[in-house]
Chain A
């Protein structure tokens, strides 16, 4: 062995091993044993072969689409476009909610279950949908914790490759909209739709969205047909967004109301009234300030 390795190579090799004197001594003993112990030599050879087999040469594998450089660039672009979201700022339920829906990427809109169980969503005002409008303060028409709601949508957008366009929460029901492709995730809007039913109950829906989405949202009701919203928020023009909204409160061919509303921050709008066989519904829209 001494004949086949130069002085410098030996030093380089030993230094490269990064071993102290005791370890080098052990290595010497191990090599010495290897030369005299056939069983050890055979076992070592088997393990080396296994290592080699696990480290299959790259040429056996297909290139990433477009080649290695493009792959790397795609990966880096994704990382750069996705916000850093430190764990401590994430509402506790997000992990479960994301885990639960990781498999549902293909769905245009998915039902989000369990996200309300932590109580994060509970309003300080504690509005029960069954409360009458007279019993509550006017500030409840505005969405709560807009920063937290924006952060949640941003996290969802990051997780779903920029495709999460909106989410909505009504009571214990939560839904999310996924686009087919990444969308513009700037300027999220935090809104609250409050629909006062003829019996005085209020169906409150918090909707957080990125402008430009076509949103079809069905809000289930325990004692009546679902409420349907068709919404599109247009990108800002002359300093504000506008929302085109269609409200239907009974089955497909039932009465509906369509309107277009200018969206200005921290305001409550009386959207309109819809007369049905059951009586009159009144819709209000609250919009949080832009952050």
Chain B
């Protein structure tokens, strides 16, 4: 008789909650990771890492309703971590990052998104609670109420963090744009 076959606890409520999240949010989480790291295979690894980690984090997360928020946070952090490691192995990143807010102002948000590493470097500068809200409200496309529920905080806090986050990103990008213009 199998002893540690994971399929044995397939009816475990915690596992079922995670499977349910994978059905609902798996692809969105994949997209978030992919927007940051670029490579789809790496994005899939990141998703697997986060969801399998959730299997061991029942004591930390406790409430299945908070799984989405927790998974998003792990996926963003892991993606940024991978990007950071990758960047360490490569030079000339400053030149590569020179693209800035100016491009977003040029009515073509795709240009900005094309530069994943620039966006990731900006997201990395945000405090984690703010970053999580920004990612969930923008990249993940959740409503304020959904984010409120997923993070277990007030709607006011969600709006405040979103505003703070977007405002900081705007400022940093504008500063970078200024530096770029002075070069």
Contacts and interface: CB of A to CB of B under 8 A. Distances in A.
A binds B: yes
Interface in A63-78: 63-65, 68, 71-72, 74-76, 78
Nearest to B21: A79
A43 to B, nearest CB: 8
A52 B56 CA distance: 35
B157 interface: no
What size tier do the contact residues of chain A reach? 35 or more
Contacts of B23: 72, 76
Contacts of B89: none
Is the contact region of chain A dominated by helix, strand, or loop, or is it mixed?
Answer: helix
Contact of A80 (B6, B112, B155): B6
A83 B4 contact: yes
Contacts of B30: 64, 71
B110 interface: yes
Given A54-B119, A55-B141, A60-B113, A75 B170 contact: no
B74 interface: no
Nearest to A19: B155
A83 B8 CA distance: 8
A52 B12 CA distance: 39
A157 B3 CA distance: 12
B26 interface: yes
A212 B171 CA distance: 59
A49 B170 CA distance: 10
A50 B44 contact: no
B55 to A, nearest CB: 5
Contacts of B56: 84-87, 90, 155, 158
Interface of A: 18, 46-47, 49-56, 58, 60-65, 68, 71-72, 74-76, 78-88, 90, 150-151, 153-155, 157-159, 161, 185-188, 291
